[in-house]
Amino acid sequence: MRAIAAGALYFAVIFALGFILGAARVLMIAPRLGETEAVLVELPIMLTASWIACGWVLRRLRVGLSLETRLAIGGVAFSLLMLAELGVSVLAFGRTPAEHLATYGSASALVGLGAQLIFAAMPLLRRTRSQV
């Protein structure tokens, strides 16, 4: 149960930041640089934030080191992120689920998906001082 809570909290923190940065990326950076380049500008910020947020969540919720627990945290966070992205795509942009999935054919979406997979792997990679 603690792993589910940790995954949900990790997702919520990063989704909130991603929502804000995503709006800035779409409205200010992409028109100047292009969509893929804008994603590449946002990517290091999001991955750094994911690293920090993951460590904070692991410490705050005192999650164990077991592989199963870490996989569960990443899996819950990634699943919630994919559902939230689908929801935003459908509700805010008026896409159908099929149209949303079709967006993954673009370079910028594939770069973003790669970063989201790294986000999901963070709980496996991250160790906190209290766990060493």
> Per residue in 49-64, pLDDT tens?
999 999 999 999 988 8
> Per residue in 1-28, pLDDT tens?
899 999 999 999 999 999 999 999 999 9
pLDDT > 90 in the chain, percent: 89
Q: How many domains does the chain have?
A: 1
Domain extent, residue 113, equals 2-131
pTM of the shown model = 0.90
Token digits of residue 66: 């077991």
Residue 61, C-beta contacts closer than 8 angstroms, at least 6 positions apart: 2, 5, 6, 9
Helix axes 2-24, 35-60, angle to 10 degrees: 150
pLDDT score at 5:
96
- Evaluate whether 81 touches 15 at the Cβ level (below 8 Å): yes
> Per residue in 104-126, pLDDT tens?
999 999 999 999 999 999 999 98
Distances, alpha carbon 101 to alpha carbons 11, 43, 90, 109, in Å: 20, 21, 11, 10
Amino acid letter, 27: L
